[in-house]
Structure 1
Amino acid sequence: MQVSDREPVDLRTDSEYSGRVQYHCGKNGCTLRISDLRERDSAEYKFMFTTNLPGGSVAGEPGVTLSVTDPDLQVQVKPIVHQGDTKAELKCHSACRLPDHPSYIWYKSGQEIEAQTSSFTISFELTDSYTCALKGREDFPSPSVCVYGQHCHRVLYTEKSVCAFKGSSVDIYCTYSSDESITSKFWFSPECSHQWQSASQPEDLSTDSQYTGRVQVIETWRGFSTLRISDLRERDSAEYHFKFRTPRFEWRSSLPGTTLTVTDPDMQVQVRRYRYNSWAELKCHSRCRLPDHPSYIWYKNGQKVQKTTLYYSDYFGSADSYSCAVKGHEDFPSPSESLQVKVNRNIVYPSYTYAELTCHSSCSPADRLSYVWFKNGARIMKEESSSYKDRLYLGDSISCALKGHDNYRSLAVYALKVPYVSVSPSGEIMENTSVTLTCSSDANPATTYTWYMEEQKLLNKEPHLVFSSVQSSDSGEYYCAAENELGKRTSEYIFINVKYAPKHASVLVSPSAEIVEGSSMTLTCSSDANPAAKYTWYKENQTLLQGPEDIYHFPSISSEDRGNYHCKSENQHGELASKSVFIDVQYGPKLPSVSVSPSAEIVEGSSVNLTCSSDANPAANYTWYKENEDSPKASGQIFTITDFRDEHSGNYYCEAQNRRGSQNSTLHLIVVAERRGLPSNHLSLKRDQNPGNSI
């Protein structure tokens, strides 16, 4: 039994010890075994037995006081003076009795070292700190101790674990020291290591997008740091560490930090009843540590009562119900200790659910009571049993009450209503912002949720689907399914349209093969944007076209269209220019131009150069011919005639050719009759250009 100010309570019937207590009793001895020990199990325990004699209950005095605690280890340092050496003996000590032959783990300045005994001797430096832990209980190490002085390298966390409510704020504390100048310091969480650039190099928590705007580091005085996280969410549940660096040292602790658990208040009413009357003591309990000196709110039969303390005592009526909440967190009250309808069996059909229900009272044995049942608020006649069977259609509700207490009905159970999906924020959704989808479903018993994106099942099982940094790939249709013991319903689709500035702008050329003059060609500006982008086309930075079209079309491209082109994509959220592409238009040679050098009269026997040039892409090849001769005279842009004589007179033409066509032009060389005063060995040249043909 556990000691109480009133009647002793058998531990096996106390909800606080449910499933954790065993008795092993023989003729003259009895052993109490308590498993899964908790700090609140610390108490005085007494053994009681009952005889058939008057007043025959006997309790042992005194009882046994149990103190449940962490291993509570301490490092004890004993300096050793030996020929000027700096040595010390370290011992890992516990005020609590330890298991036989334990193994130990030792840490030097936060790093594990080779040592498994409870004590050993070391040579140390002034910056060293030491910590010990029991093997298998590494989560409960001793505080780090400086071997000499108080300014060695160390980090001490005020608490090993912290529990806080969703939506609230929490402060996590540590102290740190070093005898060197600290160059940087920050908080981090190993649970975020998948986002680090290097798995071995933690990153500052304040730069993590998951905590944007919610993290604050406070240092009111040197050596004391506070991590404050506001608007807490369940995914913030993690272990948090502090790190600092000096020019020669980096705290790389393998020791545990502070573990944060974020949850609902999860309040419960614990009832301690007394054997001979209907008096009971109620306790408002939370598995999460509550703030200092909290105020409580108590409800009896749904009505608030004037009681604000942890405990509440009252006389129970057979239909009375009680619940409690922490002041400031009234949205999370405990379940009522009262009547409730339980679903024993159900078969879900497309249009209805067949269910077998039981009316359960936490106040009295069910088989001793008579019940009445209500369907959609109307009393069902001739139903006094604790069980009820019926078909439940969408919207139907069932509740029960003790006979004669119709006004104190149980909470109704009902077939699920179609869930509703809401989006927060409700306005335009921009890429890289936080978006939350909420699935709301009015249901009892409790509902579980599943989220879907376009028929693809998502892993999230909560009413909220959170995108901490929504991406364009998250755009699509979403819906949720709500399910409890009485059926399953799905919501309508909701479309998530993620807006973003243009990205990935580029110019595509069609056809992608060689571009020939006179052919059709299209440039397309490819860009990803939401809403759709408008486009501007440029040639060599000169604006060509503006508008919604992403296409610039050449119905018959010419050589003048050759050049660099790029486009700009823009919407109300931003703009982006593509890289330039070079459009190389190919064409056959234009009409060649021919010339002769020297252009004056030429002395017989001198040298003459004939030159041919033509605009062509790709560049032209040149061939020289003399009229009425089949074989070419020369190839190349320049044809040189050395030792010019009378027989060289005549018509010459050049042909410019590439794979897109050819053109030729004629040069006419004539011997001029001898003039008075001119030697007969001089020639006069006449040039004549005639257009050739094009292929």
Structure 2
Amino acid sequence: MITDLRENDSAEYKFRFMINQPGDKYTGSPGVTLSVTGLQVEVSRSDSTWSLMKCLSSCVLPYYPSYYWYKNGQKINTGSSLFVYFGSSDSYSCSVRGYEDQRSPSVYAPKLPSVSVSSSAEIVEGSSVTLTCSSDANPAANYIWYKKDGNPDPPLSEEPQLVFSSIQSSDSGQYYCRAENLMGTKRSESISIDVKYAPKLPSVSVSSSAEIVEGSSVTLTCSSDANPAANYTWYKKNQTRPHGEGDIYRFTSISSEDRGIYYCKSENKHGWIDSSSLVVDVQYAPKLPSVSVSSSAEIVEDSSVTLTCSSDANPAAKYIWYKKDGNPDPSFSEEPHLVFSSIQSSDSGQYYC
């Protein structure tokens, strides 16, 4: 016999008897299922300000039973229904008169929701991540997930869990959830998601958009989106050794030897990537010209002779030939070559370009 029957007495019951021989026992199977139902509070919203509650029972009650209502365990009212302020942090229950010690389970708005992330380690781009929201509430709460990304913030999911099957860097940010039932609503604290990822394709730039002239100061800059922040190494094409470290590489006084194609390497513990190429074209005046004559033997009258002038310069140099024969010396040609197709004795002398 069960006295003072309660809902938690609901169960499957079996009998067992034993005989005198050790190890011999018999159990009645299948058992008998006992389902005990008591008072329940049914909640329905009337508007955004009030909630309507009714005290219901599946048990057979006396005609026209009287009900008591309780707020936080204290008796407050009578009647089969009760209006309460929507969003109240109080809990409510009811009982039937004469059975005050057998109250219904309490109903209440959601408590402060707790939020958690499935991974306690670093969150790396491409991995699976789940955010979970939970709140103590009766009736059970419904959940909505938000990202702090606007005013108002857009809803992302109406499930207890927000799942990223392959999380991306753009998913970094602060998230929160809202738990709500017919008694009220409660917002959680924010949880921060910081997605780590390898560097994206770096961008490279040069400080001067005009001509780069020898002797000037020039700065090369490399930048890349990465988390954690990337380290940078500068290289010059066709050279195996690094040319410099850091996102900025400076030429305090650039020279013609610094001409070439440069690129940077962006790297963190999740990976690395090379930038596109950056051409550094240094402009400079002509270096000391070299002069040569086509014939290394004796130059005989009427023979063909060519004098050649060349100089390292950027942009390419223009040339003028002179003969030391006055003040000023007369110019002969504005070409790299001074050609005598049939040289004469009068052409003897000293030439320069």
Give yes or no for TM over 0.5.
Answer: yes
Gaps of 5+ in 2: 15-28
What CA distance in whole angstroms lies between the structure 2 residues aligned with 1:513 and 1:310?
A: 93
2:141 to 405, 429, 447: 447
| Structure 1 residue 409: Cα displacement | 2.0
Pair 1:481 & 2:178 matched: yes
- 8 Å contact kept, 1:346–1:485: no
What CA distance in whole angstroms lies between the structure 1 residues aligned with 2:117 and 2:86?
A: 31
Secondary structure at 2:170 match in 1: helix
Partner of 2:52: 356
Q: Which has the higher contact order (CA 8 A, sep 6+)?
A: 2
Specify whether residues 537 and 588 from structure 1 end up closer, same or farther in structure 2 by C-alpha distance, changes over 3 A only: same
Pair 1:376 & 2:77 matched: no
| Structure 1 residue 447: Cα displacement | 2.1
Instruction: Write out aligned runs for 1:274-293 (5 A).
Output: none
Secondary structure at 1:504 match in 2: coil
The Cα offsets for residues 447-485 of structure 1, whole Å up to 9 and x where unpaired, read as 222211123413421111001111111111111122222
What CA distance in whole angstroms lies between the structure 2 residues aligned with 1:310 and 1:509?
A: 85
Number of equivalences: 328
- 8 Å contact kept, 1:475–1:498: yes
Gaps of 5+ in 1: 1-298, 322-336, 349-353, 655-695
Pair 1:568 & 2:265 matched: yes
Please identify, of 591-600 and 528-537, the stretch whose mean Cα deviation from structure 2 is larger: 591-600
Fraction of identical pairs, as percent: 53
Pair 1:430 & 2:127 matched: no
What CA distance in whole angstroms lies between the structure 2 residues aligned with 1:310 and 1:503?
A: 66
Partner of 2:11: 305
What CA distance in whole angstroms lies between the structure 2 residues aligned with 1:432 and 1:367?
A: 65
Instruction: Write out aligned runs for 1:40-59 (5 A).
Output: none
2:351 to 643, 652, 656: 652
- 8 Å contact kept, 2:321–2:333: yes
The Cα offsets for residues 29-60 of structure 1, whole Å up to 9 and x where unpaired, read as xxxxxxxxxxxxxxxxxxxxxxxxxxxxxxxx
Specify whether residues 616 and 459 from structure 1 end up closer, same or farther in structure 2 by C-alpha distance, changes over 3 A only: same
- 8 Å contact kept, 1:624–1:653: yes
- 8 Å contact kept, 2:39–2:55: no
- 8 Å contact kept, 1:355–1:390: yes
| Structure 1 residue 644: Cα displacement | 3.0
Please identify, of 495-504 and 627-636, the stretch whose mean Cα deviation from structure 2 is larger: 627-636
Secondary structure at 1:302 match in 2: helix
Partner of 2:20: none
| Structure 1 residue 506: Cα displacement | 4.6
Partner of 2:19: none
The Cα offsets for residues 268-295 of structure 1, whole Å up to 9 and x where unpaired, read as xxxxxxxxxxxxxxxxxxxxxxxxxxxx
Partner of 2:223: 526
Partner of 2:336: 637
Instruction: Write out aligned runs for 1:506-525 (5 A).
Output: 506-525=203-222
| Structure 1 residue 551: Cα displacement | 1.6
Question: CA RMSD for the aligned pairs?
Answer: 3.0
Instruction: Write out aligned runs for 1:610-689 (5 A).
Output: 610-626=307-323, 628=326, 632-654=331-353
What CA distance in whole angstroms lies between the structure 2 residues aligned with 1:451 and 1:391?
A: 25
Specify whether residues 441 and 637 from structure 1 end up closer, same or farther in structure 2 by C-alpha distance, changes over 3 A only: same
Partner of 1:59: none
What CA distance in whole angstroms lies between the structure 1 residues aligned with 2:175 and 2:306?
A: 81
Q: Which amino acid is 1:408 matched to? A: Q
2:113 to 419, 427, 446: 419
- 8 Å contact kept, 1:535–1:568: yes
Secondary structure at 2:46 match in 1: strand
Partner of 2:244: 545
Specify whether residues 564 and 542 from structure 1 end up closer, same or farther in structure 2 by C-alpha distance, changes over 3 A only: farther
What CA distance in whole angstroms lies between the structure 1 residues aligned with 2:100 and 2:86?
A: 22
Q: Which amino acid is 1:594 matched to? A: V
2:251 to 549, 554, 568: 554
What CA distance in whole angstroms lies between the structure 1 residues aligned with 2:115 and 2:62?
A: 40
Partner of 1:345: 46
Q: Which amino acid is 1:531 matched to? A: P
| Structure 1 residue 358: Cα displacement | 1.9
What CA distance in whole angstroms lies between the structure 2 residues aligned with 1:569 and 1:367?
A: 82
The Cα offsets for residues 112-162 of structure 1, whole Å up to 9 and x where unpaired, read as xxxxxxxxxxxxxxxxxxxxxxxxxxxxxxxxxxxxxxxxxxxxxxxxxxx
What CA distance in whole angstroms lies between the structure 1 residues aligned with 2:88 and 2:217?
A: 64
What CA distance in whole angstroms lies between the structure 2 residues aligned with 1:651 and 1:596?
A: 12
1:385 to 65, 71, 79: 79
The Cα offsets for residues 240-264 of structure 1, whole Å up to 9 and x where unpaired, read as xxxxxxxxxxxxxxxxxxxxxxxxx
What CA distance in whole angstroms lies between the structure 1 residues aligned with 2:144 and 2:121?
A: 25
Q: Which amino acid is 1:371 matched to? A: Y
| Structure 1 residue 632: Cα displacement | 4.1
The Cα offsets for residues 419-466 of structure 1, whole Å up to 9 and x where unpaired, read as 222111222111111111111122222322221112341342111100
Specify whether residues 364 and 621 from structure 1 end up closer, same or farther in structure 2 by C-alpha distance, changes over 3 A only: farther
The normalised TM-score by structure 2 is 0.81
Instruction: Write out aligned runs for 1:109-508 (5 A).
Output: 301-303=7-9, 305-307=11-13, 320-321=36-37, 338-348=39-49, 354-364=50-60, 368-380=64-76, 383-391=77-85, 394-454=88-148, 455=150, 456-508=153-205
What CA distance in whole angstroms lies between the structure 1 residues aligned with 2:206 and 2:310?
A: 31
What CA distance in whole angstroms lies between the structure 1 residues aligned with 2:302 and 2:342?
A: 4
- 8 Å contact kept, 2:200–2:224: yes
- 8 Å contact kept, 2:43–2:182: no
What CA distance in whole angstroms lies between the structure 2 residues aligned with 1:442 and 1:410?
A: 17
What CA distance in whole angstroms lies between the structure 2 residues aligned with 1:532 and 1:545?
A: 18
| Structure 1 residue 538: Cα displacement | 1.9
- 8 Å contact kept, 2:13–2:33: no
- 8 Å contact kept, 1:394–1:417: no
Q: Which amino acid is 1:343 matched to? A: S
Specify whether residues 637 and 391 from structure 1 end up closer, same or farther in structure 2 by C-alpha distance, changes over 3 A only: same
Specify whether residues 407 and 392 from structure 1 end up closer, same or farther in structure 2 by C-alpha distance, changes over 3 A only: farther
- 8 Å contact kept, 2:123–2:195: yes
- 8 Å contact kept, 2:202–2:222: yes
- 8 Å contact kept, 1:344–1:358: no
Specify whether residues 578 and 535 from structure 1 end up closer, same or farther in structure 2 by C-alpha distance, changes over 3 A only: same
What CA distance in whole angstroms lies between the structure 2 residues aligned with 1:646 and 1:509?
A: 56
Secondary structure at 2:307 match in 1: strand
Specify whether residues 416 and 599 from structure 1 end up closer, same or farther in structure 2 by C-alpha distance, changes over 3 A only: same
Q: Which amino acid is 1:376 matched to? A: N
- 8 Å contact kept, 2:168–2:195: yes
| Structure 1 residue 600: Cα displacement | 5.3
